[in-house]
Chains A and B, each alone.
Chain A
Amino acid sequence: MFSKPAIGGALVIAALFGATLPQAVQAQAVQAQAVSAQAVPAKDAAKDLILAQGADPLGFNPTRFSAPNTSYLHQLYDTLVEIGPDGQPQPALAESWERSPDGLSVTFKLRPAKFHSGRPLTAQDVVYSVRYHLDPANAANLLARLSAVKGVEALDDRTVKLTLSSLAPGLYDLLSALFILDEKAVANIAQQDAGSGPFVLKSWTPGVSYTMERFADHWSNDKTKPDRITVRIVPDDAAGAALLQTRAVDVLYTAGPLALAQLKDAAGTKIERIKRAPRTHYLALNTSRPPLDNKLVRQAISHALNRDMITSVVYNDFASPSCQPWAESHWAYAPAVDTLCGYDLEKAKRLMKESGVGPFTMTVNTSTDSYAPGSVDTAQILKEDLAALGITLNIATYEPAKARELILNANFDMLLHNYIEGGNDPQFIIPSAIYGPTKGRTKFTSPAFEAIVDKAGKTLDLNERKAIYADISKLIADEAFMLPFAHEFRPIPMADGVKNFAMDGSGFSLLQQVEVAR
């Protein structure tokens, strides 16, 4: 008597569930068809490479440089040029190029290439891609740095001409991050790549993994080592470490402090430090908020920032202390500048006294480790030292979304954050919102800074540029509105048998030549 109505009730519930979520149910049916893609990938193929990263890619649009996207950018997409380890441009889709005598235009000759769709890649596609990046509606992350690009035109199927409004010394670094899109495939870019890179996207199961396979028609196919690259989504740091220890993955692409500690002496694994793409940690001082408008106060804070201790304690010696925007391995690095910002509390106290500013209270914005690694621990160290100067430091910690909002609106007294573009040409970061000089988030402006940054943009001579950037570094250290304090060499845990793992200057992975010995 009871059971029949109960069954009926269950059926009604099931029907209602189905009516409420018909698309979800359909999606499950689709999932059933594609179930093989959802399995944890088998690791029997000799030339398989398996990475683990913490979060899903945000679709396959290569104009978005969010961290989870960096594992596929150079794999699925090509660029006109690549930047070699020496910082100089090398041919990629463009097999050659020529700069006009006035330096304001560059003509690129394309090599024969195909998109993954099979369609030949032509100069028109390059034109489309540049314009796609320039359209604000597409919110390309490179847009703010493309202001020097005045125009682009296809001279013929294999020749494309880029016109510039200024010399744009960092042009080739920009082009090495400007990925070429297949116009015909862009509509479906949320779930399928639209590129011509050495690998083609084969499957993606959000939350589980995505797989890329070697693209047989790629122009550099003979250089490609893996047949297949699988990126598994492993949100938990400790789980990622466990998967590497049991060799269920070959590389832990996003490793937090927990995984690094767990893997420090783990058998069969190693931790490589990628020096080409350092993460530069900095303390930004908002110069529009007194007394941070006082240069002597800022200098005092700089000398109270214990760079050596932070590097050692917070970043476990995976970083080098510094007070300039780029690391020691960069061509623009000026050794003399790093002597200007030593930890010296007595000097800091003297500077505070000279400034005439009495004790005051400030807040430093920090964020969780996923967005600003080590910022909270750094703030704790800083708080102790600033207390000796009579500065009471409150530490505010925000989750990434709120932290980003505050940074974009320059809504902070002090900010502990980082950038990862320091491996690129200095033009990538100095004119940007990070340092200013006119629209920087620290609100620091000075005619001298503007003039010297302007000068840096007007020459292509490397020696001349080195001298100018040394002066810029010196000015930044002296004015102390931005206090870079550590260049963290990204630690990538991997199995002992993995070779040739690399990254470009922006921290985008280069997996084409990775070899895996089982």
Chain B
Amino acid sequence: MTEQLKAIEAKAREELSKAGDLKALDDIRVRFLGKKGEITAILKQMGKLSPEERPVIGQLANKVRADIEASISSAQDSIKKKAAALKLETERIDVTLPGKAPRLGKAHPLNATLAEVEEVFLGMGFDIVEGPEVETDHYCFEALNMPKHHPARDTQDTFYINENVLLRTQTSSVQIRTMEERKPPIRIISPGRVYRSDAVDATHSPLFHQIEGLVIDKGITMADLKGTLELLLRRLYGEETQLRFRPHHFPYTEPSAEVDLMCFNCRGKGCSMCKQEGYVELLGAGMVHPKVLEECGIDPNVYSGFAFGIGLERITMGRYSINDMRLLYENDMRFLNQF
């Protein structure tokens, strides 16, 4: 019987070595280890053995069975691994083919820039306020120290609806509305669409966007104005940004300033990009005129403040090197998809 068992084991090993797939292995398992398998058949004959032989043969039979089982299992592993490796091999693809991205929309460059500016100001404690675009002469001009026939009105060619109603030429109108509604301290920016009757060309548009800022409190100084603008522009354009403040005139601020950005191309030396000036004009600012404060019911002897206005188009075009303003309003998908 011992020989029989050994023969079975040898046979099983031989069969296993030939088995090429999981089904063959399973057949082998049934044939040798199954209920009607060869080992079981041997074990059924155990009764014929002497009591001395029985445990010896029993042990041997169990060992043979365990060995065969182990061999089958190891053969299974090996076949599975081979199959898996083969599958991976056949599933090889060209990883350089283009990807399939879900489509993402692109924010308009003007709004992307505006979002960044708003972020900076929110961080500095400025609320964002909005106001009407179709505005009265009072809020757009009169309350801003520009009575009818004021020569400064000429620099803002205005679209009129009627004698008293117009399309706002600046978002300063929102500042007036805010000062009427809120008491100091006030810290706001008012972004929005403004209108001037300029024909469309590469640098002009009858509709464009402004971001105006206003701070009113006790003890606000021109130094604060300078510091605030420097902070903003360094956040927008980088820490090495250099500014130049120079005197200017706006009816609603006194002192007034224009702020120039040192040309990034030539670092102030003068080149074709900055028309040899070394600086690029960026925004207007100043200390709120006492007449404007008074007009809004704020006592200029107690409070002071500053205001500034930035052209969103100008900073957007600068950021993305866009050389023609018309692109911003054409909404050509080939343009918008670049952002």
Partners in one complex: no
**Chain A residues in contact with chain B, CB under 8 A?**
none
**Chain B residues in contact with chain A, CB under 8 A?**
none
